[in-house]
Amino acid sequence: MRSIKIMVAIMLLGLACNAEAWAAPRKNRDYYEARGEVVWEVPGKKKVIALTFDDGPDPKDTPYILDLLKQYHAKATFFVIGNKAGKHPNLLRREMEEGHEIANHTYTHHFFNRSFTAERIHNEIAKTQEIVYSVTGHKPSLFRPPGGMFDEAVLRVAKQEGLKTIMWSWHQDTRDWSRPGVGYIVNKVLKNVRNGDIILLHDYVSGQSQTVKALQKILPELNKLGYEFVTVSDLLSSAKNMVPSMK
């Protein structure tokens, strides 16, 4: 009789554990989006999209990209690396003066992994905040982790620094950093474009960039389709303004 009771207790314990595991939130995209902690895109009725550029500023490619954006009256968001921003303050100032948004992409662009302590994560983010502020007089409000790699610790530190974590639309990962061909980059954007997209591009890549030539085709085509190019913060604001009042 005692053995039966023990078996029943074990079974009940197992069911309880399974129920707890099932009830616990799975930390995938849906989990973070529901909590408003991470943004991948901002779908809506307005034909607006956000072009984002990572890994700069770069003295070679960033000026060409800024020239193109000006030509098509496009605003963009530059996720800058702190140590590069410190070396090229004039480019940082130009981005700000021409109406673009400057966001935080860490100081050294090391991928966050389990070896990173909270202090090291904080230093990567805080140093870039300080550099951007010292050059422009404004602190970034947005953050993108290198390689899109984050966990609870990264999000917690970003939030402590007053930063919103921004990813990109999965259907708009152009992989321009790998130089897949101008045609690939162009087709990736144009064939998948949707209202509220956050498009991932780079104003620095290792080797000969294909991003500038791709933009020469992407910008006029999206212009013809009636899309407006806005900063990520403007994209987020437009979504808030579209929420109907509960009064």
Mean pLDDT within 195-216:
97
Whole-number pLDDT of residue 137: 97
Domains, the chain, ordered by start: 41-241 (3.20.20.370)
- Considering the candidates 30, 54, 58, 73, report the single residue annotated as catalytic: 54
| Residue closest to 77 by CA, chosen among 141, 128, 135 | 141
pLDDT tens profile 85-95:
999 999 999 99
- Considering the candidates 61, 105, 176, 202, report the single residue annotated as catalytic: 202
pTM of the model: 0.86
Using the structure block, give the residue that is written with the tokens 């595991």.
Answer: 21
Greatest mean pLDDT range, 12-16, 112-116, 152-156: 152-156
- Please say if 173 is a catalytic residue: no
- Please say if 67 is a catalytic residue: no
Whole-number pLDDT of residue 188: 98
The pLDDT confidence band at residue 241, using thresholds 50, 70 and 90, is low
pLDDT tens profile 217-239:
999 999 999 999 999 999 999 87
CA distance 171 to 182: 17
Cβ partners under 8 Å of residue 203, min gap 6 = 53, 54, 55, 56, 57, 58, 61, 62, 65, 78, 211
Residue 204 vs residue 26, higher pLDDT:
204
CA distance 208 to 20: 52
pLDDT tens profile 39-79:
999 999 999 999 999 999 999 999 999 999 999 999 999 99
Using the structure block, give the residue that is written with the tokens 């207790």.
Answer: 9
